[in-house]
Structure 1
Amino acid sequence: MSQKLKIVTIGGGSSYTPELLEGFLKRYHELPVTELWLVDVEEGQEKLDIIHALCERMIEKAGVPMKVFKTLDRRAALQGADFVTTQLRVGQLKAREKDERIPLSHGYLGQETNGAGGLFKGLRTIPVIIDIVNDVQEICPKAWIVNFTNPAGMVTEAIYRHTRFNRFIGVCNIPIGMKMFITDVLRLTSDDDLKIDLFGLNHLVFVRDVWVNGQSRFDELLEGIASGTLSANSVKNITDLAFNEGLIRSLRLIPCSYLLYYFKPKEMLAIELGEYYKGGTRAQVVQQVEHQLFELYKNPNLDVKPKELELRGGAYYSDAACEVINAIYNNKQTEHYVNIPHKGHIDNIPAEWSIEITCTLGQDGAQPTPRITHFDEQVLGLIYTIKGFEVAASEAAMSGDFNKVQLALNLSPLIHSDNDAERLAREMLLAHERWLPHFAKTIKDLKVSEGN
């Protein structure tokens, strides 16, 4: 590696950026970042300015020779980049609010990475990430892209299906939260060697085994969760409901919190509809948290990441990204949980699928752990179903075709009527028109058909 270590963060005005910088600062002795470039769009200029000023104060406090830059010119920022992180939200939180409210208005789960809301976040996001990938291939082709823009699984699937770029790794905070939960309940210390066998798709992962210093501790963990003495919910944005004891014992797997949407759809919908009819959705809560965070960030005396950032549902995303970058840069050959194409490593799913799995990371990227070569049969049907939805979503995003949007919606197990799928497709395409340039002709035709 060269003396210079340049990292470009696209979506640099995000409230998560101080955590990302904190991660780089605490690893500076082994990850000596010389330049951090924060890139955003015009709508994010004010937040970018606030974040940049806070980052400058944090760097000054840390006393390290790192420079932080801000720009709206992505292509200029990418010159000479070693790593690119993507943490963007097309349409910002107002678009997320529509992703939640419109499905709920039709009696369906409104969630930013699942069902109709997840599809439309993907439709807005995938073309933008592909544009970034194309720029990286042209300007800094040896750079690694570490993506923690949701829906991360759908995005990773689209990149490997629709580009030839192979230095793209998707990162999620859900496995990190599960690891922290396991560390806590097993009362482990930094001296303990913890390995977790985790597999599935993004926001659809299962823990199959837990190894502490070479010994399996899975049975005691499973018993605690099955009996209800332990709660495995590790995220702020999902209601903490316990999985049924019989389900956990029969699966002999520990599901991540997002699987509540598939194992408890009736209960989760009831909770979300209750919040919706009271006038609130998760997006509105997040907007309030964001506002409070940026008020804190403006304080000229603040020079550390505030504790309040942990109220955001994606806390620890950024730390996970720092760990991935560190492992690649220093060829660490350490274990992480990432989204990559498995290339036939798993013997009972299609070879071209991108999956989320325990991997070993080094200078050549991520390699799935040899401990997992087979997906458990009892959850294979659900995994196939959601992967079918992800593949259809990536095809729809690239095509701008109304019928492909309908197909993706109908393939989601969270949509229960083909007529409702058509209604949702129409209403959400029109609502998100500004952020869906790929769908310009489709939306024009919809307006004509509806007499607008």
Structure 2
Amino acid sequence: MKLAVVGGGSTYTPELIDGFARLRDTLPVEELVLVDPAAERLELVGGLARRIFARQGHGGRIVTTSDLDAGIEGADAVLLQLRVGGQAAREQDETWPLECGCVGQETTGAGGLAKALRTVPVVLDIAERVRRTNPGAWIIDFTNPVGIVTRALLEAGHKAVGLCNVAIGFQRKFAGMLGVAPVDVHLDHVGLNHLTWETGVRLGGPEDENVLPKLLAEHGDAVAADLRMPRDVLDRLGVVPSYYLRYYYAHDEVVREQRTKPSRAAEVAEMERELLKMYGDPELAEKPALLGKRGGAYYSEAAVDLAASLLGAGGSPYQVVNTYNKGTLPFLPDDAVIEVQAAVGKSGPHPLPVPSVDPLYAGLMANVTAYEDLALQAALHGGRDRVFRALLAHPLVGQYAYADALTDQLIAHNREHLAWA
């Protein structure tokens, strides 16, 4: 089995490598290719990756290359984890929206749209090259904004599934609180990427008893603290929103915070400098503890599980993925990309039935789905008017004066990545 990771020079890659090494019985990888145009970073990351495999006794071969076509040739699955523009572009995404009093975030709001516009054309080019080289390969997208990127891939006819680590993070956290193994926790996870709610927690499978009320009663303070939301809000909702919902539920509070402290991008950039120094140490043969602060916790385990299921190597029967709606949520179009529990196999993901969704969540999902449709049109076809329409539709913007100003800012900060600008 051969896997390729596009964006393999990321400082986060050793987390993925560690997962492949530990879970080799679930996903027996014989060749793993790390593809990245940043040759110096790739050499450091690739060296550590080989030492991790050797330390953990994995017999697979790790190859590094800056040649995309050579790297993806013959791959059974291609994982996408790229960042167009690097941390410098992320720093901009998280700062210029604040000038209009809007949240600065790399995956939602104005910053998220900027990332989508930079990313979608690049990802589609990669996917076309995968299709030419190996049309049977699955594409697993971890590149944000996952919902928009996955929809672009699916609409272009690619064998693609989107993946996010929010659900597996909740699964692990809830398992610890309940004193059970993570594999015994099944989530009623519903929404769009980075706009999700845990409406049920079941010990076993989708038909077992919902213990979410018990979990909130006994551990609500800890859950609320983790989400940085008031406990009484969780009690009134009766569900657990993802931490991304704080951008919506406490928008003005978040903006005030962001204006008074360094951006997350600045923190990550400093962390990356430290990590790359560590990766250059020939004695280091495991992922360093600092990597745990980098973000993306448990991504490696989710990625291994998903790849194993798609390639017929095993994997969990149910997994949270991003895929076409196809009637799962009747208030959204069939071609919307949703994030829900699905049965996953060689034929791809098949969403499980979802109980009726509270209008409080359904309305916001419908609003953001409309934005994502407009965002994808802007990413595919360009044009100032399309960017403006997408921003005006986003609930974190929503005012024409803001949308106008943010459109100009977005184009000015991203001109080098926008072929039409």
Q: TM-score, normalised by structure 1?
A: 0.88
1:101–1:28 distance in 2 versus 1, CA, 3 Å: same
Q: Which amino acid aligns with 1:350?
A: P
Match of 1:447 in 2: none
Q: What is the alpha-carbon distance in structure 1 between the residues aligned to residue 114 and residue 329 of structure 2?
A: 29
Match of 1:450 in 2: none
1:210–1:217: 8 Å Cα contact kept in structure 2?
yes
2:336 to 350, 353, 371: 353
| Deviation, structure 1 residue 45 | 1.7
The yes-or-no answer on 1:397 pairing with 2:379 is yes
Q: What is the alpha-carbon distance in structure 1 between the residues aligned to residue 193 and residue 224 of structure 2?
A: 17
**Counterparts in 2 of 1:84-163, with a 5 A limit?**
84-161=78-155, 163=156
1:435 to 389, 405, 417: 417
The yes-or-no answer on 1:46 pairing with 2:46 is no
Can you give the 5+ residue segments of structure 1 that lack an aligned partner in the other structure?
A: 235-239, 444-452
1:178–1:232: 8 Å Cα contact kept in structure 2?
no
**Counterparts in 2 of 1:283-294, with a 5 A limit?**
283-294=265-276
**How many residue pairs align between the two structures?**
417
Match of 2:184 in 1: 193
1:369 to 338, 352, 366: 352
Match of 2:176 in 1: 184
2:328–2:352: 8 Å Cα contact kept in structure 1?
no
1:171 to 163, 175, 181: 163
Superposed CA RMSD: 1.7
Q: What is the alpha-carbon distance in structure 1 between the residues aligned to residue 10 and residue 212 of structure 2?
A: 37
Q: What is the alpha-carbon distance in structure 2 between the residues aligned to residue 349 and residue 413 of structure 1?
A: 17
2:64 to 67, 70, 77: 70
Q: What is the alpha-carbon distance in structure 2 between the residues aligned to residue 308 and residue 333 of structure 1?
A: 29
Q: Which amino acid aligns with 2:256?
A: A
1:13–1:47: 8 Å Cα contact kept in structure 2?
yes
Q: For 1:432, what is the secondary structure of its paired residue?
A: helix
| Deviation, structure 1 residue 401 | 1.0
2:255 to 269, 281, 303: 269
Residues 8-17 or 311-320, more deviating: 311-320
1:405–1:328 distance in 2 versus 1, CA, 3 Å: same
| Deviation, structure 1 residue 363 | 1.6
Identical positions, percent: 35
Q: What is the alpha-carbon distance in structure 1 between the residues aligned to residue 334 and residue 230 of structure 2?
A: 31
Q: What is the alpha-carbon distance in structure 2 between the residues aligned to residue 169 and residue 351 of structure 1?
A: 16
| Deviation, structure 1 residue 64 | 2.6
**Counterparts in 2 of 1:279-428, with a 5 A limit?**
280-329=262-311, 330-332=313-315, 334-370=317-353, 372-428=354-410
1:309–1:315: 8 Å Cα contact kept in structure 2?
no
| Deviation, structure 1 residue 252 | 2.4
2:142–2:163: 8 Å Cα contact kept in structure 1?
yes
Match of 1:448 in 2: none
Q: For 1:299, what is the secondary structure of its paired residue?
A: coil
2:91–2:263: 8 Å Cα contact kept in structure 1?
yes
2:200 to 209, 234, 253: 209
Q: What is the alpha-carbon distance in structure 1 between the residues aligned to residue 356 and residue 378 of structure 2?
A: 30
Q: What is the alpha-carbon distance in structure 2 between the residues aligned to residue 332 and residue 319 of structure 1?
A: 10
Q: What is the alpha-carbon distance in structure 2 between the residues aligned to residue 233 and residue 91 of structure 1?
A: 33
Q: For 2:95, what is the secondary structure of its paired residue?
A: helix
Q: What is the alpha-carbon distance in structure 1 between the residues aligned to residue 5 and residue 80 of structure 2?
A: 6
1:55–1:233 distance in 2 versus 1, CA, 3 Å: farther
Q: What is the alpha-carbon distance in structure 1 between the residues aligned to residue 258 and residue 267 of structure 2?
A: 13
| Deviation, structure 1 residue 232 | 4.8
Residues 25-34 or 148-157, more deviating: 25-34
| Deviation, structure 1 residue 376 | 2.7
Q: What is the alpha-carbon distance in structure 2 between the residues aligned to residue 124 and residue 158 of structure 1?
A: 13
Q: What is the alpha-carbon distance in structure 2 between the residues aligned to residue 134 and residue 89 of structure 1?
A: 18
Q: Which amino acid aligns with 1:348?
A: F
Match of 2:18 in 1: 22
| Deviation, structure 1 residue 333 | 5.4
1:194–1:262 distance in 2 versus 1, CA, 3 Å: same
Can you give the 5+ residue segments of structure 2 that lack an aligned partner in the other structure?
A: none
Q: Which amino acid aligns with 1:255?
A: P
Q: What is the alpha-carbon distance in structure 2 between the residues aligned to residue 322 and residue 139 of structure 1?
A: 23
2:94–2:111: 8 Å Cα contact kept in structure 1?
yes
1:54–1:302: 8 Å Cα contact kept in structure 2?
yes
| Deviation, structure 1 residue 244 | 5.5
